[in-house]
Structure 1
Amino acid sequence: MKILMVCLGNICRSPLAHGVLAHLAEKQGLHWEIDSAGTGDWHVGQGPDRRSVAVANKYGVDISQQRAQFFIPEFFDRYDHILVMDENNYRDVLAQARTEKDRKKVQMFLADGIVPDPYFDENQFEPVYQMIEARCQELIRDLVKK
């Protein structure tokens, strides 16, 4: 199973989702490939936001070695599932889809809403982490059933 998490800058939400899902999958003995990318290229090559690193560390998840990358159409060939954090990411990723098969790989990370971007609000990193962790638990249950 190969899963790509996508947000805007690839420094807050998608690195958390990448790290949490990889951590949980490893704990369950699942040999999944998890990665993340951004639809914007401002932070390419940079590590995750220090606040994302801190909240992940608080729960035993190390995301410090991740590096931001820009979403490219070739990712449709590489990943089975592409999960996006909000409607803008969804639109931006779908705009690069080349086929219906590509489009079918793209889903919202949360089926019933968006993951808010905590970048401008220090107090949102903890709630965002909790939201992501809960959804990653569900994802594992759902994908293992398939």
Structure 2
Amino acid sequence: MPNYHRPITKNNPFAIVFVCLGNICRSPTGEGLLLHKVKEKGLASYFYIDSAGTAAYHVGEPANSKSQATANNHGVHLPSKARQFEYADFNEFDLILAMDAENYKNIKALDRNNRFEDKVKMMREFDPTPEDGNVPDPYYGGLQGFENVYQIINRSCDALLDELTPLIEDD
């Protein structure tokens, strides 16, 4: 696991990045959902939350309209603009959450010396019902595919936040 030994404070927030392929469906949903959850709990200042893609297909674009509509139906806003995951992100983030095995492999390939392997995890490692361990790409699954992805990420974010919240300390 990432460095859970250090306290999470306002002066030393816990940095999380969600990563999928193009950064327009799954990872923006993770970013938006977790931002929403920490704001609801009054914990936003203890976290830095972002998203990225392993490919540069959609750099600068907002989240996919179906991802946005699904999140909006649940009262969640997806604020991200697509960007590509970079080597510098290994230093910036405490936890790097890959949405599927292919993106996990792409992230790990950037870390040639395995310096950051403890930071890279699969999103569904936090899912109480992880199935095959992948958050499926909703793009070809119609609206139900987007809802399914939302539900997977929602319960995974709940479990992740349950694990991190006890580490929060006041400065």
Which residue, 36, 39, 45 being the options, matches 2:54?
Answer: 39
Write the distance in 2 (CA, Å) between the matches of 1:16 and 1:118. Answer: 11
Write the distance in 2 (CA, Å) between the matches of 1:11 and 1:72. Answer: 17
Write the distance in 2 (CA, Å) between the matches of 1:26 and 1:40. Answer: 29
Which residue, 76, 85, 102 being the options, matches 1:88?
Answer: 102
Q: Does the CA contact (< 8 Å) of 2:25 and 2:63 recur in 1?
A: yes
Q: How many aligned residue pairs are there?
A: 145
Question: Quick check: 40-49 or 23-32, which moved more?
Answer: 23-32
User: CA 1:129/1:54 → structure 2, altered by over 3 Å: closer, same or farther?
Assistant: same
Which residue, 132, 136, 159 being the options, matches 1:116?
Answer: 136
Question: Quick check: 130-139 or 94-103, which moved more?
Answer: 94-103
Write the distance in 2 (CA, Å) between the matches of 1:25 and 1:99. Answer: 33
Write the distance in 2 (CA, Å) between the matches of 1:130 and 1:100. Answer: 32
Cα deviation, residue 28, structure 1: 1.2
Question: Is 1:138 aligned to residue 152 of structure 2?
Answer: no
Structure 1: state its 5+ residue gaps. none
Question: Quick check: 15-24 or 99-108, which moved more?
Answer: 99-108
After superposition, the CA RMSD in angstroms is: 1.1
Structure 2: state its 5+ residue gaps. 1-13
Larger Rg over CA atoms = 2
Write the distance in 2 (CA, Å) between the matches of 1:99 and 1:124. Answer: 36
Cα deviation, residue 35, structure 1: 0.3
1:28-107 map, 5 Å: 28-30=41-43, 31=45, 32-63=47-78, 65-107=79-121
4+ residue runs of structure 1 moved beyond 4 angstroms? none
Write the distance in 2 (CA, Å) between the matches of 1:34 and 1:50. Answer: 21
Percent identity, aligned pairs only?
Answer: 42
TM-score of the pair, normalised by structure 2: 0.81
Which residue, 11, 25, 28 being the options, matches 1:15?
Answer: 28
Cα deviation, residue 145, structure 1: 2.9
Question: Any idea what the Cα deviations from partners look like across 1:85-108, whole Å, max 9, x if unmatched?
Answer: 000000000111154441110000
Q: Does the CA contact (< 8 Å) of 2:108 and 2:114 recur in 1?
A: no
